[in-house]
Structure 1
């Protein structure tokens, strides 16, 4: 049982301010990293109460009743920590941080929302590519850089050229929150020459990180000399894998035809080609059924009546890094890019991946039909295939069958850790 007010935090940038506020104002929160000491009682309680495993997470305890108040989402947590200090205790600095009027507070939360969504999405996208959490996609990487520049030029530079801070002439929690994300920008994508071209943002950033309240959070900050580019290892090795079979097929095709022999040493263009043509279940016919008929009443009954588990397998596909996803449209773009990179295998596959949840709290999951009994030969043509987890499904089991139907019909919520999440978007691979 949780008896002490607790903040579940780790080293992520979104956790910094909640910890700092608790320390500065001596609020008495215990800090627990849910990724460490996983057998401890604190972490077990966190796993029990917060199945999405988000950070920061706050648990407050009513001293009289022992009732727990549980809260996620960083901006909500920052407000919860500061509001009693400002309104009940009338702490001058807390009032300044939160804003001393309804309009000022609304402006504070407007800026926090901007950095937590508009700016965070392209920034985290490139950070993940640089850190190897997502496959390098040069066009997307460059598009994200352009989007970040556009946001800075259109929104931040005009504001910070005319004002010292984001909200009026007093520093607020919006400035510290924004600076924590700009810190990541300077740590991953913006270099020294970029900072010289954006003097207003650079002046503001240095003012905020040297404020006594936040100086300890940004110790050791240094500018990048050059923007790091992610390594593209998988893309470099992929041509070798494809070119060698093509050469050997070309050499041996003609002699085999002349001798009337079976091409014993001929290599297939795709590993799944070696399985030969299926004799019972026709994938193209299923794709036509799915495309031309109502999914629930017509297409799905046809599928389960004709599906042959000896020739095909069905796999649950889970994105491994849902906690890094931000905007739902970007998650759907991620699925679209993955499917585009599966083009080389598409004649052996069919499936859907859906995006469930909401902005800054969403995930990717789906069900994919594959020729044969192994998922790897179909998926490993995509450089980012290892960003997903694969679990084999059994269509003869009612639970697995229902999951497959839901993934291909998109008309019922996704159940994640016992909680229903609405499907907001998705893609079909066919």
Structure 2
């Protein structure tokens, strides 16, 4: 794609990075075939190619975002299916991330939209506050039908009761059982510590059982992905900086072989810290080191000698590939291989490359599109008649649960159960 950025504009490193991305695009439109929003709306501006044109025009002319650009960029799920499809290796993720930050900085949204986005960025990244918000939402659920459509998902997607805080999520060290193979830090996260404490608990049990010492580092927490995708760069960078410093202290004191992440959306962000802070003289080297040793829990499980105990029956499991895992991190083989290795019958889901509609806060901000994508995903999952659904991302799990009665569990919960851990809630023993 031909570009015409001024030398002044290109002096900004983020704009210069976007210009290189834009020049890689050859207008082929292959991305349109796998874009979830384009499949639903048929609108060229709801496709990666269409959004690229809008972003190019906005950045090239160094102008404030307008309502049309904001609307179509907002409709992007950041599922990154386009990056898997693209034959020219266009790094759409970095382009749309910068566009969102530019929109947030230059476009004044309607008050209700602005307030909702600010509320989500503030509450979801603070577990204690989020827990209080869920209690309030549970009491307000009977009123959901009286709320405006844009606010109903705040209540309908909220669980009736959130679990109590888990001891696993406070800073500490979990020693390895038997011979220690490695030492890792676990990102305990923010939303996950409130909505489903069983995932981190199962992760710790699985890893320590197989000789891995697990550290929950003092000062680490939210990865920053939620505000990052809302265009709130200052907030997301502040959260990322805390993690980088916390894990650097662990690297320099006790040493770390990996930073393990069991929420794939967070994993995609942490693996991008090196790029995020590439121009920060104080943090660039630390951020790059953190990104280099970050891994999804399924990547680590693939390296461990998983030993099934026979406690888990050979259930038929539909594996839902979270977009952030298959497209963002290019991890497709490891989760399926690990589940099969411990005795589960893993079934692929038709249209597995298409997003379920969760996408961080997307199902709260774009409920109509998200609901349509969930219905499509659930129909495809149910067509393989599984006993359970496995996924590697909490957001996907919460989204899919709303549309089906089939139990939805994290991949690590099944691996833990099969190798001597607890039976995941809702599954038949």
With structure 1 as the length reference, what TM-score do the two structures score? 0.25
State which structure, 1 or 2, has the greater radius of gyration over its C-alpha atoms. 1
Q: Which one has the bigger strand percentage?
A: 1
TM (norm. structure 2) is 0.25
Higher relative contact order (CA 8 A, sep 6+): 2
